[in-house]
C-alpha cells in the first residue's frame, strides 16, 4: 500500500451552478431555467471577464442561463430563475427545488447558504392538453 495521499478536486462555483442546474431541471414541475436580461447584462460586465479568465472558482461567482452560484468562505449560495408547469403548485415546486439543491450542495462538503428561487413563468407543459 502507498502512503501517497489522493489529491481532491476543488469544488468551484461553476460546479455548484452545474449541480443546481441539473437538480432543478430534474425536479417535477420545473419546465426550464429562465435566463433573464439582468443575468445577460451581468454576464457582459466585469463578471464576464472573470468567467473567461477563471471559469468558476472556489471563492467567487459563476452565472449561466438562469443560475448564479457564489462560494464564499466555504458556503455556497445559489439563485435560480425558473419556469414552472401550471399543473403543479408553484410554491411547492420552488420549495422542493430549494430543498433538493441544498441537499446536493451539502454532498460537496460546502455549507449550503441561501438558495433563492424566482418563478418567472407559470405555463402549461407543451405536451399537456388544456381543457
We report the CATH number of the domain holding residue 114 as 3.30.70.1350
pLDDT number for residue 104: 97
Instruction: Note whether residue 8 is domain-resident.
Output: no
Map grid coordinates 464564499 to a residue.
Answer: 72
Take residue 101 and report the three cell numbers written for it. 439543491
Residue 22 has pLDDT above 50, yes or no: yes
At residue 35, the pLDDT reads 87
* CB 24, CB 82: distance < 8 Å: yes
**54 in a domain, yes or no?**
yes
Q: Say if CB 72 and CB 16 are below 8 A apart.
A: no
Domain of residue 24, residue span: 13-123
| Count of structural domains within the chain | 1
pTM of the model: 0.77
127 vs 46: which has the higher pLDDT: 127
For the residues 58-70, what does the mean pLDDT come to? 89
Is residue 7 included in any domain, yes or no? no
Contact status, residue 11 vs residue 108, Cβ threshold 8 Å:
yes
Contact 62, 14 (CB under 8 A): yes
pLDDT at residue 46, as a whole number: 55
In a domain, 2, yes or no: no
d(CA 7, CA 42): 34
Amino acid at each position: 500500500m502507498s502512503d501517497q495521499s489522493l489529491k481532491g478536486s476543488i469544488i468551484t462555483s461553476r460546479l455548484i451552478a452545474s449541480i443546481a442546474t441539473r437538480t432543478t431541471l430534474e425536479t417535477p414541475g420545473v419546465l426550464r431555467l429562465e435566463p433573464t436580461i439582468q443575468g445577460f447584462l451581468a454576464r457582459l460586465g466585469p463578471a464576464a471577464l472573470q468567467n473567461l479568465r477563471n471559469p468558476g472558482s472556489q471563492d467567487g461567482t459563476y452565472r449561466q442561463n438562469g443560475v448564479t452560484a457564489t462560494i464564499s468562505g466555504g458556503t455556497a449560495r445559489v439563485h435560480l430563475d425558473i419556469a414552472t408547469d401550471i399543473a403543479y403548485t408553484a410554491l411547492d415546486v420552488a420549495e422542493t427545488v430549494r430543498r433538493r439543491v441544498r441537499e446536493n450542495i451539502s454532498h460537496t462538503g460546502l455549507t449550503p447558504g441561501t438558495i433563492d428561487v424566482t418563478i418567472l413563468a407559470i405555463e402549461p407543459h407543451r405536451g399537456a392538453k388544456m381543457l
